[in-house]
Chains A and B, each alone.
Chain A
């Protein structure tokens, strides 16, 4: 019999209580893993959005509550294009609307002359040649069962599909590129774009060029990295904050649950703890026993939570409305965080019961009824 097997035996003695505790902590960790992977997925989508057309950076309206609310006038767009160090710049009007089962169908309005450089490589067909034509992402084409020559209705406006492209970006793949004037009409936003994408000349510093734009046009803000996107979109920051808050809540609720379980366990085994002290066990070893039980409990809960978290996010992506704009990501950091939460909960929940167990005098514990 090893010390670890003694720990496991003690947990198995109270199967129902152990299972319920594992389930409670496991659900908390599931939430942390699920929210973490969704946040990472959202960040990946945002990153894709930042690099559309191979841009070095993106310019948006300063102070916009959300990126989709940003508006940049034609004059500001020209100012960006003329900025020293800019090689090319193109405006994109982003428009979200329901198409088929996708409530977030993403139509990008781009000037036709910019399309060859901006639109991903075509799999079939050609770039739009008229105002009511568009090119469709392969994901959207599959889900809507459309081929070049077919038609698609966006906000009661019928477009002919002139071509199909495939992109590594989930959002692009599930959306479409249409001529800018047509999308401005759809969105009822004449003469404006949402953002301007830009590339810089070889040898020019992206940061320097971006800074010059912000200096010369204070109403604009340049987004060079994903971290900058919080200047115009609080969504990711809110998600990150929510993730942190839920992680902390999971720790607190989990620790209370574990503490309850371990205190009950210590109370019930008071005489046994007395016996262990009577045969020579030190307080340290008793503490290791109680903390060990708690940690094993939480390690099982963390494993369960991680499995359930992955399963839950995979299940969510079966919903077409979600899969069109979100692909959950599972970086190692999420699982490390889940393990650390499990470890933290186990430790926090066990310390007080272990302290109580260690403070029991051998004879006091043996006399306990």
Chain B
């Protein structure tokens, strides 16, 4: 186990609607580098909110979040942090509709000043990694749901982030497409050593993780480590 965790949160609080809704209520969480953690729990327990805070898409009301050594409260360049250190995959692919698959993958690279030629090369390699090397010129509307989600994964990996955040990435997919997306995430984690933090409602998806963190009312209320047999049965271990 590494001394510096990939993600560490202490007493994180996040409220909405002027404090009437308490999405996170003093959450503590530690995720080690390269670990695959599944966040499970009922709707409204704060799973997605936690991912959004870790991705620095919005700030917490209280508490600290440290990702790869970056304390987000004192991080002055949040766009650079988002571009360089985390990749996020949403339940809905959130691809830009007027761009092709390859161009969508290139979008995050602009901020890091990567040259046009390198952007194209890297996008091609990432699409190959997600099995869509022949779909680079297609727009999202011309792709299936599973293919769009794989493009979104390729985009999330564009700048080789240390932490990949996946917010119910299989939630809008049929079981076969969902299985392929999960296999892909597993494979990426294994090959690149990327830390994976995945939100899901699906027990079989969670069972592929190294660790399952159960959330309730904005807190982590328990955790378990799926057995080798279970992980192997769900395809999480090979």
Q: Which residues of B42-95 have CB atoms within 8 Å of chain A's CB atoms?
A: 52, 55, 57-58, 79-84, 88, 90, 94-95
By a CB distance below 8 angstroms, the chain A residues around B52 are: 363
CB <8 Å contact, B79 and A280: yes
- Interface flags, B106-123, vs A, CB<8A=1, else 0: 111011100010011000
Let me know if B210 is at the binding interface, CB within 8 A: no
Number of interface residues of A (CB under 8 A): 24
Dominant secondary structure of chain B at its interface with chain A: helix
CB <8 Å contact, B57 and A278: yes
Known contacts A1-B103, A275-B96, A280-B83, A362 near B108 by CB under 8 Å: no
CB <8 Å contact, B79 and A282: yes
CB <8 Å contact, A279 and B108: yes
CB <8 Å contact, B96 and A280: no
Q: Closest chain B residue to A286 by CB distance?
A: B79
By a CB distance below 8 angstroms, the chain B residues around A362 are: 57-58, 82
CB <8 Å contact, A9 and B98: yes
CB <8 Å contact, A281 and B88: no
Let me know if A285 is at the binding interface, CB within 8 A: yes
Docked pose: A281 CA to B98 CA in angstroms: 18
CB <8 Å contact, A363 and B116: no
Known contacts A361-B58, A366-B94, A285 near B82 by CB under 8 Å: no
CB <8 Å contact, B111 and A281: yes
- Interface-central residue, B88, B96, B155, B158, by most chain A CB under 10 Å: B96
Report which of A13, A275, A282 forms a contact with B98, defined as CB distance below 8 A.
Answer: A13
CB <8 Å contact, A285 and B96: no
Q: Closest chain A residue to B159 by CB distance?
A: A280
Q: Which residues of A1-44 have CB atoms within 8 Å of chain B's CB atoms?
A: 1-3, 6, 9-10, 13
Report which of A3, A9, A10 forms a contact with B110, defined as CB distance below 8 A.
Answer: A3
Q: Closest chain A residue to B83 by CB distance?
A: A280
Docked pose: A194 CA to B181 CA in angstroms: 92
CB <8 Å contact, A272 and B96: yes
Docked pose: A1 CA to B106 CA in angstroms: 8
By a CB distance below 8 angstroms, the chain A residues around B116 are: 1-2
CB <8 Å contact, A282 and B111: yes
Known contacts A1-B99, A1-B106, A9-B99, A280 near B80 by CB under 8 Å: yes
By a CB distance below 8 angstroms, the chain B residues around A363 are: 52, 57-58
Q: Closest chain A residue to B52 by CB distance?
A: A363
Docked pose: A279 CA to B119 CA in angstroms: 15
CB <8 Å contact, B84 and A280: yes
CB <8 Å contact, A10 and B108: no
Let me know if A276 is at the binding interface, CB within 8 A: yes
Docked pose: A279 CA to B93 CA in angstroms: 13
Let me know if A166 is at the binding interface, CB within 8 A: no
Q: Closest chain B residue to A362 by CB distance?
A: B57
CB <8 Å contact, A285 and B110: yes
- Interface flags, A276-295, vs B, CB<8A=1, else 0: 11111111010000000000
Docked pose: A332 CA to B8 CA in angstroms: 64
Report which of A2, A280, A366 forms a contact with B82, defined as CB distance below 8 A.
Answer: A280
CB <8 Å contact, A279 and B82: yes
Docked pose: A363 CA to B56 CA in angstroms: 9
Docked pose: A1 CA to B108 CA in angstroms: 12
- Chain B interface (Cβ < 8 Å from any Cβ of A): 52, 55, 57-58, 79-84, 88, 90, 94-96, 98-99, 102-103, 106-108, 110-112, 116, 119-120, 155, 158-159
Given A277-B82, A279-B111; 11 other pairs, CB 8 A cutoff: A1-B106, A1-B120, A6-B99, A13-B98, A278-B57, A280-B83, A280-B108, A280-B112, A281-B107, A285-B111, A366-B94
**16 A-B contacts, Cβ less than 8 Å apart?**
A1-B103, A271-B94, A275-B95, A278-B57, A278-B88, A278-B94, A279-B111, A280-B112, A280-B159, A281-B79, A281-B110, A361-B58, A362-B82, A364-B58, A366-B57, A366-B90
- Would you list the 5 A-B pairs with minimal beta carbon distance, nearest first? A280-B83, A279-B108, A280-B82, A282-B79, A363-B58
- Chain A interface (Cβ < 8 Å from any Cβ of B): 1-3, 6, 9-10, 13, 271-272, 275-283, 285, 361-364, 366
